[in-house]
């Protein structure tokens, strides 16, 4: 039990460090694009995550369609009905532990919902929203 708790704590720390680095890089890029940029917003992130759009296969979907309302619980893929482990790093320490994985899924999932890649600002906002859920 103690070992498991220690592992969880270690993963927790490393994933927090990874996501901090990811967000810092995005914030620098956002500032280069728009000098009036101040910070990423949970509120804008929530709008990005919960609003519905005509996305993949012409279906009206949001990020919630696959990840669910409660990010601390498992979701279900809207298209394949496969279970998706919780997105919140608070309950799922595997989340946000690798920049490559975060980038890959943000790219793919923005295309699923928005039919385009997310902007730097949108990615920063939505990740800030998710890690605070």
User: Is residue 106 at the binding interface for ligand HEC, with CB under 6 A as the rule?
Assistant: yes
Identify any residues that bridge with 83 across adjacent strands, giving them in sequence order: 76
Spatial distance between the Cα atoms of 43 and 76, rounded to a whole number of angstroms: 24
Near ligand HEC by CB under 6 A: residue from 113, 128, 131, 133: 113
User: Is residue 23 at the binding interface for ligand HEC, with CB under 6 A as the rule?
Assistant: no
Near ligand HEC by CB under 6 A: residue from 40, 65, 128, 133: 65
Which listed range, 3-11, 28-36, 105-113, lies at the site for ligand HEC (CB under 6 A)? Answer: 105-113
Which parts of this chain interact with ligand HEC (CB under 6 A)?
A: 49, 61, 63, 65-67, 77-79, 84-85, 95-96, 101-102, 105-106, 109-110, 112-113, 126
């Amino acid at each position: 039990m103690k070992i498991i708790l220690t592992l969880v704590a270690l993963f927790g720390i490393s994933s927090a460090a990874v996501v901090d680095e990811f967000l810092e890089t995005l914030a620098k890029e956002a500032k280069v694009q728009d000098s009036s940029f101040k910070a990423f917003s949970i509120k804008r992130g929530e709008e990005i995550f919960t609003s519905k759009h005509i996305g993949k296969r012409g279906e009206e979907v949001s990020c919630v369609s696959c990840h669910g309302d409660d990010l601390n619980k498992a979701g279900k893929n809207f298209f394949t009905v496969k279970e998706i482990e919780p997105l919140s790093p608070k309950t799922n320490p595997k989340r946000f532990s690798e920049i490559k994985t975060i980038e890959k899924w943000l790219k793919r999932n923005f295309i699923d919902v928005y039919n385009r890649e997310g902007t730097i600002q949108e990615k920063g906002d939505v990740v800030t929203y998710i890690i605070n859920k």
